[in-house]
Amino acid sequence: MLEIVEDAKARSMNDVKGRHVLVTLILFALLTVVLTWPVTWRIDRVLIGDDYDVYIHMWANWWTRKTIERGLDFYHTDYIFFPQETSLAFFSFNHVNTVSWLLLTPLTGRVAAYNVTMLLVYTLSGFSMYMLVHHLTDSRRAGFVAGLVFAFCPYHTYESAHPSLAAMQWMPLFVLSLRRILHDPDAGRLKQPILGALWFLLNALSGWHLMLMLMGWAALYLLVEYWANRESWVATAPRRLLLLVGFIAITIAPFAWPIAHDYLTTDATFATVEIQEGLGNDLLSFFVPHQRHPFLGSFFAGIHDEIGYASRRPAYLGWGAVGLVAWAVAAEGRRCRVWLLLGLVFALLSLGLQIEVAGTAILPLRFPWAGPIVQVLRHPYRLNTLVSLSLAVLAGIGTESLCHWVTLRSRPLAKAGPTLVSSVLLLEYLVYPFPTTEPIDSPFVRQLAEESGDFAVADFPMGRQPDKRYMFYQTIHEKKMLGGHVSRAPDNAYAFVAGDSLLGPLLAEKAPDPGLDTRKHLASLAAYDVRYILLHQDLLDGEGQRAWRARLRSFPAPFYEDSSLIAYRTLPHLRVEDVTAGGERRVDVHIGDHIQLLGYRVDAGESSADDEVRVTLFWQSDGELSKSYHVFVHLVSERGRLVAQHDGIPMWGSLQPGAGGRRRSYRMNTH
Amino acid sequence: MLDESFPDGEYTVYAGMYDFSTKARATAVTSDGKTLPDGAVLLETIEIDHE
């Protein structure tokens, strides 16, 4: 009887626990909608995050789908930096987000799918931190406050443009597993190592930078834990840790191997980052509200200017959160020491090469660890992720401790306490409007998508930043492009463009040699399947547009022009009406698939020396051919007898089907 | 080049394409939708006169 009652109690407790978990998840989802406003309102009209980088993450989704549909090599492509092959080993993929995007796109469309996935990142970040701190403190209010700090701190808001850095929702769950492996005697021998490996894998597949950060964090955490809390480790902790490491190695290896292989077998010196390129936090940026804060942003505008770049990469901790941390440390010192130490260490590492205040180095000291951090993460400020991990946990502990203290003195105040604390934090972290980017669109790009054929386009101005934008266009037109972007581009990425006598100067934003025969050179680019040169004039101001028009003065008339771009075709699109210049005769006959005979010229009789009949044919193909065609020209007598013939492959190219041959839209055959 | 033994007279020049692997003629369709016999496009009739 007693057992039945206890079972019923346990079931009831589990039901309550399950309900609380569900309610908390819904609460974080609602908060996400409110705090990222107006993203939900414009869910299919904007992309979450205010940076060109959002375009390359849409490209990553598109590329993943394309490789699945066409069975292409995922880590190597000539779709960017055409015609050479480029490794995508150093591309910032978030495979977890992409899976979500692939599943949601048929239901919501691609833009909304991207946004919903990112909103889930914020919801789950709050929820996973809630789970961790609830475990640590056995307090839902502590978990909730910690979740707020972790999900909505300004740095996380800033990283909305970088899914491979923003998706930190798996970290608290990994930390929770690690805690239980070390301290929970009831955690089971396999369950937590398996769960821990799963969270680690999801974190790694969300971004390799996140994986490297979590590895560093876990190593330091274990060291500090061993020093501070060794006596409370369960006896099986070392064995469980070994299992965890083993499971992680097994699950990560298949995904990490292609990248490691590229890194080890090719000259990867291009991946080296100069230490000066690595941006660290300005000390002030920890304490100055986000510049997009609706009330405080303008108030601190002067300091933002002094901080410089750091104002765009906010590290603001929040005075309310700092107060909670201070309370936690004062009241629960021993319980907080591991988290505090880790938080301070990563805050120090996030500063980069030197300690700067308002943009000025205050000490001549240069930190020796900055170099390796820059090599691994590029920017030390990215360690704000790990700073916020400690900040959230400590704010949670502080909340619980403070509420307990208040409860002893005023029950009504204690009841209102968590709401008050949460309100203060949210008010401090408020960002409005939430950063978003309008997806670019162009009638010509859509027209390009309809054009058959496997060809490339050259976008100008060309370079690391604008090319991100063109990659978004590529997700629409699906043609190859001469520029492109990977996180660490090979030195020869632009070699084809730079080495070309027409495109090379344009890459350097100079005019081509006036002596260059532009039309002839454009034809030679067509031979490399480069069909269009695009000038994106919406990226240029008035002066820039004038300068570019001057550089392109020798180009033929544009094939297309609107307010956003000008398109030049490398070979003019031949029309039947055009075939008249040299005494040619016009016909308009479609032959097989994608071939059009536009005209011909026959030179025979008196005008032809040595009894030669010379036949010139003008062909045009408008797409990839399914067969290997040869041309025939027959001379037939009055009686219908074939008296002479000439067969041959179409000149100026192979006109072969499949990927091997060059396909040109315009050819002239003489027989 | 035309052979000397070629008789003088009117000759018609045809052109078209065929699939090199099967030798099958590619269909030829004019802009008004007419399919040409044997995929051969009549280009021109010429007069051969060895004089």
For A336-371, give the DSSP string. Answer: HHHHHHHHHHHHHHTTTTS-EETTEESSS---TTHH
pLDDT of residue A608: 43
Per-residue pLDDT at A634 exceeds 50: yes
pLDDT of residue A607: 41
Q: How far is the C-alpha of A663 from the C-alpha of A658, rounded, in Å?
A: 10
Look at A585 and B50 and tell me if their CB atoms are within 8 Å: no
Of A519 and A283, which is predicted with more confidence?
A283
pLDDT of residue A619: 77
Burial A517-539 (b: 16+ CB within 10 A, else e): ebeebbbebbebbbbbbbbbbeb
Look at A597 and B15 and tell me if their CB atoms are within 8 Å: yes
Poorest-pLDDT segment among A246-255, A655-664, B14-23: A655-664
Cβ-Cβ contacts under 8 Å, B5 against chain A: none
Q: Which residue of chain A comes nearest to B50, CA vs CA?
A: A611
Q: How far is the C-alpha of A11 from the C-alpha of A97, rounded, in Å?
A: 35
Tokens read off for A351:
């500063």
* Phi, psi (deg, nearest 5) at residue A338: -65, -50
Classify A297 as helix, strand or coil. coil
Q: What is the largest CA-CA distance in chain B?
A: 41
For chain B, the first-to-last Cα distance in angstroms comes to 16
Cβ-Cβ contacts under 8 Å, B14 against chain A: 633-634, 636
Note whether A100 and A63 are within 8 A (CB): no
**pLDDT average, residue stretch A531-543:** 95
**pLDDT average, residue stretch A33-42:** 97
Band the pLDDT of A655: cuts 50, 70, 90: very low
pLDDT of residue A628: 77
Scan residues 478-497 of A and list those with Cβ closer than 8 Å to B: none
Of A511 and A612, which is predicted with more confidence?
A511
Q: What does the mean pLDDT of chain A come to? A: 88
- Which candidate in B4, B12, B18, B45 is best for mutational testing of the A interface (most A CBs within 10 A)? B18
Q: How far is the C-alpha of A316 from the C-alpha of A319, rounded, in Å?
A: 9
Distance from CA of B35 to the nearest CA of A (A): 9
pLDDT digits (tens, 9 = 90+) for A405-450: 998 888 888 888 889 999 999 999 999 999 999 999 899 999 999 8
* DSSP at B25: B
Q: Which residue of chain B comes nearest to A639, CA vs CA?
A: B11
Look at B18 and A638 and tell me if their CB atoms are within 8 Å: no
Per-residue pLDDT at A227 exceeds 90: yes
Q: How far is the C-alpha of A294 from the C-alpha of A429, rounded, in Å?
A: 10
pLDDT of residue A276: 80
Query: CB neighbours (10 Å) of residue A301?
Result: 12
pLDDT of residue A184: 94
Contacts for A226-232: CB closer than 8 Å, 24+ residues apart = A228/A337, A228/A338, A229/A182, A229/A183, A229/A338, A232/A183
Cβ-Cβ contacts under 8 Å, B30 against chain A: 587-590
Judge whether A614 is closer than 8 Å to chain B, CB to CB: no
Look at A610 and B1 and tell me if their CB atoms are within 8 Å: yes
* Minimal Cβ distance to B46: which of A592, A605, A630: A605
Per-residue pLDDT at A664 exceeds 50: no
Q: Which residue of chain A comes nearest to B19, CA vs CA?
A: A629
Poorest-pLDDT segment among A63-67, A156-160, A170-174, A275-279: A275-279
Q: What residue ranges in A45-152 does DSSP mark as E strands?
A: 47-48, 76-77, 86-87
Look at A634 and B19 and tell me if their CB atoms are within 8 Å: no
Note whether A139 and A418 are within 8 A (CB): no
Tokens read off for A451:
């054009």
Distance from CA of B28 to the nearest CA of A (A): 4
Reported ipTM exceeds the 0.85 cut = yes
Band the pLDDT of A551: cuts 50, 70, 90: very high
pLDDT digits (tens, 9 = 90+) for A364-381: 889 999 999 998 898 999
Per-residue pLDDT at A217 exceeds 70: yes
* Minimal Cβ distance to A602: which of B13, B19, B20: B13
Per-residue pLDDT at A91 exceeds 80: yes
Look at B15 and A643 and tell me if their CB atoms are within 8 Å: no
Cβ-Cβ contacts under 8 Å, A643 against chain B: 6, 11
Cβ-Cβ contacts under 8 Å, B31 against chain A: 588-590
Poorest-pLDDT segment among A9-13, A104-108, A245-249: A9-13
Interface of B with A (CB under 8 A): 1-4, 6-7, 9-21, 26-31, 36, 39-41, 43-44, 46-50
Per-residue pLDDT at A65 exceeds 60: yes
